[in-house]
Chains A and B, each alone.
Chain A
Amino acid sequence: MTAHLPISLSFEALDYMMPMSLVLNSNGVVTHVGPTLRKVLPGKVLEGTSVFRLVEMRRPKKLTSIDQVREFNGAKLYLRIRDTHSTPLIGTMTCLPGSEGVLLNLSFGISVVEAVGRYGLAGSDFAPTDLTVEMLYLVEAKSAAMEATNQMAHRFLGAKTEAEAEALSDELTGLKNRRALDQVLSRFLAGKNRFALMHLDLDFFKAVNDTLGHAAGDKVLQEVARILTEETREGDTVARVGGDEFVLVMKGLTDQVRLSAIAQRMIDKLEVPITFRDDLCQISASIGMVSSSDYAEPNADQMMDDADVALYASKKRGRACYTIYTPDLRE
């Protein structure tokens, strides 16, 4: 039965095979310390010290005598070093044949990253077969890769915020947004271009959203955008400035008869029901209009405000109609 024959191992061999091992005598007193463990355990002279003064054996249960330890031959033990850091260790032990002694082999387990720094350990402190160094490599490589990814995410977030801030179009409809509208108005005003401003607000849009959902609402807004673009000329501006609010800038056009015709045609077209899946979405629009030619010194804020007043008048008259701004609307 050669399998049961004990093997003999020199301490030198033990030191490079298991540099974190302890040999204890029958009283639990340390008789040999592995070279790596010597750098880790507290105290200069470890031989002759009771193992229970060096480490605390916590699990599977609190062990305070060597006889208790012996019962856990081959089990996984959880320990803590009795130093200021209470560094956790894992270990396993075996009773030595032919004596009452015990061989206890230890490792840092998951606490290894902190432990190598704390005790100043080097690659040569671990057995060649020990994967500790590979694990440390992996931890470091992973953090490097993660750091690169994080930095990239931050760069992209910055670029996205910047791009959004500079964006001039409304994402859903592709129309211009308020920022673009402001730019157009200030350009027109600075260049003394004549133009009309229409403030258009959808009627009954909320009902579509509420009864058929946001997908239907989005479809309607896209249809509205298409119609408004069709009913305007190149050079005119159609902007979506709120949920269901649009502002149109008609370049060079201040003739009230023509503006009225355009406004009415838009309302008519917007009233044609829009199909969404199996449902028909019925909306309309109210419009308020102003012309730059009605002002001695037109400015954007005043014109927007007046168009708003005219829009409100349309709403008050029962919606689905247009109003050209006159000062008496404010009375």
Chain B
Amino acid sequence: MHGLIDRSLESFLRGTYGDEFWMNLIREIDPGFDSFEPMFRYDAILTQTVVNQAAELLGKTRDNLLEDFGTYLIVDTRSERVRRLLRFGGVDFTEFLHSLEDLPGRARLAVPDMDMPEIEVDELSEGAYVLSICHPEPGFGHVILGALRALADDYGALALLDYNGRSGQTETLSVDLLDMSHTEGRSFDLAAGTG
């Protein structure tokens, strides 16, 4: 797994549950270091171990923890970058949803060896989408679910999102867009550092 993903997961756990929680967790897993380097690669098993162990310590399901991680990526100021980079995808939530298919390509423009799942967006009927998320490692679906819920808020859209399960390497989400401009949403300035 790319270190940027592991590092973000670490930031989420540290930021949400404290440094002490993280240090206990990493001591228990004992990978030989206590912090992920964002530009390294790590064995995907290690990433999964961190997720499983953290979920167990917190008494949460793995799915919920991953969903919270996705929300954190959009909502928390420490990962403002991620929110910004995603918002470049579209001027409104619909356009953003359509841009999701480009997401792996966009990520690789910046970090060529980034692992991102392949995403397919199908519009079944107006405002009703199905997202297919394909990656050998399970879990991306829940992270994206959490991120999309937060992004819908960010765009000011009202949407119902659900996780429909995993089959083979593909996880599916359904998105029902009820109102494109339910609230004002958060502003997005193209220029960095201004909003």
Minimum C-beta distance from A13 to chain B (A): 19
The proximity string for A residues 112-155 relative to B, scoring 1 for CB distances below 8 Å and 0 otherwise, is 01001110111110000000011011101111110011011001
Which one of A122, A124, A137 has the greatest number of beta carbons of chain B within 10 Å? A137
The proximity string for B residues 133-149 relative to A, scoring 1 for CB distances below 8 Å and 0 otherwise, is 00000000000000000
A140–B39 CB distance below 8 A: no
B194–A137 CB distance below 8 A: no
Is B19 on the interface with A (CB-CB < 8 A)? Answer: no
B88–A122 CB distance below 8 A: no
The proximity string for B residues 151-195 relative to A, scoring 1 for CB distances below 8 Å and 0 otherwise, is 000000000000000000000000000000000000011111110
A-B contact pairs, 19 of them (CB 8 A): A117-B192, A117-B194, A120-B189, A120-B191, A122-B189, A122-B190, A123-B88, A123-B90, A133-B88, A137-B85, A137-B106, A138-B109, A138-B110, A140-B81, A140-B85, A141-B110, A144-B110, A149-B39, A151-B38
Is B4 on the interface with A (CB-CB < 8 A)? Answer: yes
- Quick one: which of B37, B84, B109, B110 contacts A152, CB cutoff 8 A? B37
Instruction: Give the docked Cα–Cα distance between A254 and B38 (Å).
Output: 56
- Quick one: which of A118, A137, A148 contacts B38, CB cutoff 8 A? A148
Instruction: Give the docked Cα–Cα distance between A142 and B81 (Å).
Output: 11
- Quick one: which of A118, A124, A144, A151 contacts B91, CB cutoff 8 A? A124
Binding site for B on A (CB under 8 A): 113, 116-118, 120-124, 133-134, 136-138, 140-145, 148-149, 151-152, 155
- Quick one: which of A121, A143, A149 contacts B190, CB cutoff 8 A? A121
Is B111 on the interface with A (CB-CB < 8 A)? Answer: yes
The proximity string for B residues 91-106 relative to A, scoring 1 for CB distances below 8 Å and 0 otherwise, is 1000000000000001
Instruction: Give the docked Cα–Cα distance between A155 and B3 (Å).
Output: 15
Instruction: Give the docked Cα–Cα distance between A152 and B39 (Å).
Output: 8
Decide yes or no: A136 and B88 within 8 Å by CB, A122-B190, A148-B38 being known contacts: yes
> Nearest residue in A to B112 (C-beta to C-beta)?
A145
Instruction: Give the docked Cα–Cα distance between A113 and B106 (Å).
Output: 18
> Nearest residue in B to A120 (C-beta to C-beta)?
B189
User: Inside 8 A of A151's CB, which chain B residues have their CB?
Assistant: 38
User: Inside 8 A of A149's CB, which chain B residues have their CB?
Assistant: 39
A144–B85 CB distance below 8 A: yes
Instruction: Give the docked Cα–Cα distance between A142 and B106 (Å).
Output: 11
Minimum C-beta distance from A119 to chain B (A): 9
> Nearest residue in B to A141 (C-beta to C-beta)?
B110
A113–B88 CB distance below 8 A: no
A145–B37 CB distance below 8 A: no
B191–A116 CB distance below 8 A: yes
- Quick one: which of A113, A121, A133, A141 contacts B109, CB cutoff 8 A? A141
> Nearest residue in B to A140 (C-beta to C-beta)?
B192
A113–B191 CB distance below 8 A: yes
Minimum C-beta distance from B91 to chain A (A): 4
User: Inside 8 A of A133's CB, which chain B residues have their CB?
Assistant: 88, 190
> Nearest residue in A to B110 (C-beta to C-beta)?
A141
> Nearest residue in A to B4 (C-beta to C-beta)?
A148
- Quick one: which of B38, B91, B110 contacts A123, CB cutoff 8 A? B91
Instruction: Give the docked Cα–Cα distance between A141 and B109 (Å).
Output: 8
Instruction: Give the docked Cα–Cα distance between A155 and B194 (Å).
Output: 29
User: Inside 8 A of A143's CB, which chain B residues have their CB?
Assistant: 192
User: Inside 8 A of A155's CB, which chain B residues have their CB?
Assistant: 37
- Quick one: which of A117, A134, A142, A152 contacts B191, CB cutoff 8 A? A117
A122–B188 CB distance below 8 A: yes
B38–A152 CB distance below 8 A: yes
Q: Which of B79-131 contact A (CB under 8 A)?
A: 81, 84-85, 88, 90-91, 106, 109-111
6 other contacts beyond A122-B189, A123-B91, A149-B39, with CB at 8 A cut-off? A120-B189, A123-B90, A136-B88, A137-B106, A138-B109, A140-B81
Minimum C-beta distance from B1 to chain A (A): 15
Instruction: Give the docked Cα–Cα distance between A148 and B84 (Å).
Output: 16
B84–A140 CB distance below 8 A: yes
